[in-house]
Structure 1
């Protein structure tokens, strides 16, 4: 069982749980394992290589087989990436010439000549009816044969796998880190937590589980082993019921509740009864999800349990048989009368809600006395608000400095984005400045003593992960809003998808924008070549998987922004395919190699989201000529079919402008607060070894840190968020 959980540890921590087995001479097998890893951009740390070398050859080989499969999937090398044009990026034809060649072949084919002639006479030609269009014309082996070996370069990615503790200890540590996360997890992380919780339910537990949807996943595992449940609101019980039905614990989508066994029904009703008996005011929470409660009532049969009268009240409220005023409705009533003082006083009983309402309260306030009262209330309850909410409001206030001509960017929990003009009145400077100072002081107070803090400069512009929904699972992925340097001469995007049941056509495109966000050019299946790059060709069916690539010479790009995107032309959505992912590679001009070379992959992320257009990230050239990646993780609604880059140019440019105008809180913000609080902060130069244990924050763990150092990388960046 424990070996089945090993891939989770490797993916999340880049540590290999300490392999165990008979002693022996495994040094040759260990070096071969290391060489195989390097071919896909990974490497064994010195202590892991030494540990493996002391084990038997069979143990090393078994470990290598498991680990190689995991890391190949992490980087996207577990599938075969073919290309339409066999020697891509060389000899990609002009789009019009290519189409004319496909037409000529169709006219030469007796089976398609008549149909093609009829389409040409009508003036409308469907490319998909041409036999030589949209499908691979050569095998994967034939494609490999025409490409030279990749020339190794100093800039190739090398991700180090480090020696972990024993398998049980590593699994427990990962479970505790995910279950105790101060920020919501992404869907893939929640799924991993569910797997781990089933294994760890009877072992050590985190001191607190602050995120409610995480608590639901943990409670399901605890219920299955008969452990005490962690429930203190009626909504906790609803989330648990969703988890038991494999539904949506975030409650953003309706769950289809299953028929539950009687012991489970008794447990849920007993929990509801206890929560309401302890605090009848919590019945007000029912109205936020009344339809879900009504459907759950049909499964729990509360009328069969007369000894649980308080639980029955929950469903009476959901049906409307009993009226309970919610806090939100009372606040709305007061604000409708412009009674800001009373609304503020009422919200002080729910500090998180008060913080989320600060902007509205300040805009609604008509007098200086009312504005002062709102700020004073926020200062008073700040110690009671979660660190994630405090940071979110701090970020919001920073971006409310100047509103003239600004745009509001709305991104929901699924990554669906839209932009509208910001018509709100401004938050006045005195209140904004006073609040920012109070929030900075509160965050500074909560930051732990770290001793000597060493920071990699490349991590300073990484956005704080205030929500797991602001990123995706994958390799080298950073939270939405992060900025990271791009060093290389050739930038190559790739997308891979494998359809589940229906013909599915994804189109990889790249839009180039000028500094004013006007369109300069694009690369797509309708525009295969440009002065700055090439498209690998259109694949329109993926029963066995398909890949598309775009190759860009960064020095030849004339625009300021490059926005790669994936359009669904036909078929299954991103959430419906068997597999779909996007990524990019960086190479030197002389490296050559196959279209897909795993050790040049800098980022690979899963495509799992709503809408028909995916925008994983954008690239921006600064005034100094250097390129940087700006992480987006966004989806546009698009059209049901036939989405193309040409049709979404304006909406993509508008969205990008809105994103670029917004500044997220970054690692730099927290390190500056730590320095102001007296922490010794050193920028890592890659050479100077600290003289004792440190807290290190960086994109990767470097070699040579003293024993006992605490390491924070993107995989556990959430640990920086104070409680």
Structure 2
């Protein structure tokens, strides 16, 4: 390991569990030193391999100490264990008030009537009240348990804890848990691993998820110009091109980067994305958020103002409450563009086809109108006339004020052909752009209607250019087209943006003909098998059947950054006998952060999605008629000052919930007041599976999911739990909500619509699963396939059996033999697609693992689409 750990080493540690420690020849350290490392890492749920342990044993003591500290810091941040996680009620889940309304009334009366030096309103004792700072509320240590509270019992804001009201408590013990540890292994060649990861990002054929994008940018910024030598000939995703060269322009001299960049920039949008990244903006070119202060009228009288404060309105003492209205604009703050760089960018634009340049700029007209203020194209009109013409069209007038000439581009001609049902013209236009053809194929077949000849020509054109479609698009169509033989229960739309807001509607499309779908699907399958056959072959494939419930990632731009790369729509089986502990942590910025209140709630619903109750700040205990708690909240903290932040928890008893006829528990994160999620210093939430609910509130070893909060919406619906099937449905979707005061009750209409619709959509099979994708790879590249399921079974390719026939047997589950045992140790390298990485694979194996555990993954889900 280097003297100072680099960001690249941190990326490789988080993603693959690799620790790079040089082999040294000095004497072995005493076992007690290594045991101390084991104990420290075990607190986070990690263990070291025998190979890594042997290398650690030969490090100098100072180096081992430093390495242990670095490992703990990086891994603790990864799973959320680097924060204090002190909830409002320190004794949670015990000693939570049973009557939330009674607690609220005591808070109101204390706020209005309890004064310093007077007997307590409730118990009448004297000398038991304390004035808390800075809120100045007077609280009685007989009526409010100071050993249980971590903040003011009245306003629930953080206060100075040295007050005599707060009684000391012994540190909570580590819970008694059954833990599956994640393995850390010794890395070999840092440069090789970094290059392999960088190239895999470049080879992706769909947009990177936020977590992948962060790691990609980290590599570029850390390694700098070194990555120029690693660039592949083709980078399919244009946003990745922008990320690379925009970051390099920030780090390196433009003249060293521009000659290489020219070979990867082929459209005006490429240049626009490059400038966006160079300016620190998102290359997705989605509308950028802005927040405009708006005053809302509220009662200002003393009584109503006080009541407004108690009911958690931020407008307690004024007639107008200033809130931030969320706007979206198509512009970004442009970084300084020096004259040589501006000329170089204009020269790039001038080199594109004149009409293509205009059409491409019109796709992002608002951005180009804004960017023209910084590029000053009119200054170089004689030198770059095509660019000057394009900006005139975009601005709808020339610099002298004369109207710009009319322009009809590809999109306009395509829409005209579609509206007029000119099928021949439409087909010819689609053939010019295969990507557009693939996306519009379903629509084109419907436009052809009863014209069998037109449909046949479309099918022939489609099958003839399958080789030009991207792999993710082909895989999407492979699942989509067979479902179009009948109408779906509903349609889901995924608008472009920074977060996912699934929009639904009835399926009013005409169904497709089997005569059109069958040859199309056949051509897609053969093309995918052909592509995957070009990748390295493996004799053996090991595939987990549980991957049937994990969709192939799509729309990853909107995926929440997560410690586990769980695709939206995934269904995860939860072990029975565990308590679900949901957690939330957030922290406002150090500078300029207004008080921010985010709430963690759980809504409960019956089998038909009838609302049955909730557990939240407004109802701390959701109980059965017997009084037994179905769910318990740790209390509501109404601000999260820097640097400690605030944490909230909710425990859910699955068995008791089922006994009361409940079917679904929905985790809801509401932005009640203050800054949006994206403006916070940090904000994350997740799920722990606990055997022992006592002891430390947050146990990193038991974290099943941990994900970041993002975007500017008021309501986040990360997951729903099917209590009957003990299945977690990962929804990862946002709802706009209100400007403030979002609660489960106010969001109930959105929850009871979005959750069942998304669950129905993903259960329909309209999206390909990781199991489907793994079978395609196995049929194209393998000879023997072991499927792990309730009954493990082995498929062996027959003599002369081609990939398509083998794939059909794998899909139909035909011709297998039971697997008597599963022992892959000591065999040749194999390909493994695993739900849980709970096996030891031979060296040199290629592995995808949703939950890493013992496996060091070499592949991500997106790598299988490359």
Q: Same fold (TM over 0.5)?
A: yes
| Larger displacement relative to structure 2 (66-75 or 470-479) | 470-479
Q: How does 1:41-440 map to 2 (within 5 A)?
A: 41-94=45-98, 95-106=100-111, 109-110=114-115, 132-135=154-157, 145=170, 147-153=172-178, 156-198=179-221, 199=223, 200-223=226-249, 224-225=252-253, 226-227=256-257, 228-229=260-261, 230-253=264-287, 254-276=331-353, 281-305=356-380, 306-320=382-396, 321-366=404-449, 367-403=451-487, 405-430=489-514, 431-440=516-525
Partner residue of 1:124?
none
Partner of 2:787: 683
Select which of 653, 657, 671 maps to 1:557: 657
**1:21: Cα distance to partner?**
6.9
Alignment correspondent of 2:639: 541
TM-score in terms of structure 2 length = 0.76
Structure 1 residue 323: Cα displacement: 4.1
CA distance in 1, matches of 2:496, 2:208: 14
Q: What's the TM-score, normalizing by structure 1?
A: 0.90
Distance 1:17 1:310, change over 3 A: farther
- Which of 498, 501, 516 is the equivalent residue of 2:608? 516
Q: Is the 8 A contact 1:87 1:146 kept in 2?
A: no
> Structure 2 matches for 1:680-719, cutoff 5 A?
680-684=784-788, 687-689=822-824, 691-714=827-850, 716-719=859-862
Paired residues of 1:201 and 1:221 also in contact (CA < 8 A):
no
- Further displaced range: 353-362 or 503-512: 353-362
1:704 to partner: Cα distance:
2.9
Root-mean-square deviation over aligned CA pairs: 2.9
Deviates more, 1:129-138 or 1:477-486: 129-138
Aligned pair count? 705
1:405 and 1:421 in contact (8 A); partners too: no
SS in structure 1 opposite 2:352? helix
- Post-superposition CA distance 1:543-589 (Å, at most 9, x none): 1411110001111123222110100110011101111001110012x
* Pairwise CA distance, 1:143: 8.0
Q: Which 10-residue stretch deviates more, 33-42 or 301-310?
A: 301-310
Distance 1:301 1:668, change over 3 A: same
Structure 1 residue 160 displacement after superposition: 1.4
Cα distance in 2, alignment partners of residues 283 and 164 from structure 1: 50
Distance 1:669 1:679, change over 3 A: farther
- Listed as ranges, the gaps of 5+ residues in structure 2 are 123-134, 138-151, 288-330, 397-403, 624-629, 793-820, 851-856
C-alpha distance in 1, partners of 2:548/2:26?
Answer: 44
* Offset at residue 165 of structure 1 (A): 2.5
Measured after TM superposition, the shift of residue 214 of structure 1 is 0.7
For residues 649 and 147 of structure 1, the distance between their equivalents in structure 2, rounded to whole angstroms, comes to 36
Relative to structure 1, the CA distance from residue 207 to residue 11 in structure 2 (aligned partners, 3 Å threshold; closer, same or farther) is: farther
Cα distance in 1 between the residues matched to 2:828 and 2:103 = 63
Q: CA deviation at 1:316?
A: 3.4
1:654-669 correspondence runs (5 A): 654-663=753-762, 664-669=767-772
Alignment of 1:557-596 (within 5 A): 557-558=657-658, 559-588=662-691, 590=692, 592-596=694-698
User: Matches of 2:602 and 2:440 in 1, distance apart?
Assistant: 39
Deviation at 1:152, TM superposition (A): 3.3
SS at match of 2:686: strand
Instruction: State how far apart, in whole Å, the 1-side matches of 2:245 and 2:69 are.
Output: 35
Q: Work out whether residues 210 and 558 of structure 2, in 8 Å CA contact, stay in contact via their aligned partners in 1.
A: no
Residue number among 546, 558, 562 corresponding to 1:474 in the alignment: 562
1:8 is paired with a residue of what secondary structure? helix
Unaligned runs of 5+ in 1: 118-126
The alpha carbon displacement at 1:520 in A equals 2.2
Distance 1:546 1:457, change over 3 A: same
**Shift, 1:148, TM fit:** 4.3
Q: Indicate if the aligned counterparts of 2:7 and 2:218 stay in contact, CA closer than 8 A.
A: no
Q: Distance in 2 between matches of 1:635 and 1:183?
A: 22
| Matches of 1:470 and 1:483, distance apart in 2 | 18
| Residue-by-residue CA offset, 1:338-364 (whole Å, 9 max, x unaligned) | 223321221111011011112221222
SS in 1 for 2:785: strand
Asked if structure 2 preserves the Cα contact closer than 8 Å seen for 1:18 and 1:166, the reply is: no
Partner Cα separation in structure 2 for residue 574 and residue 157 of structure 1 = 32
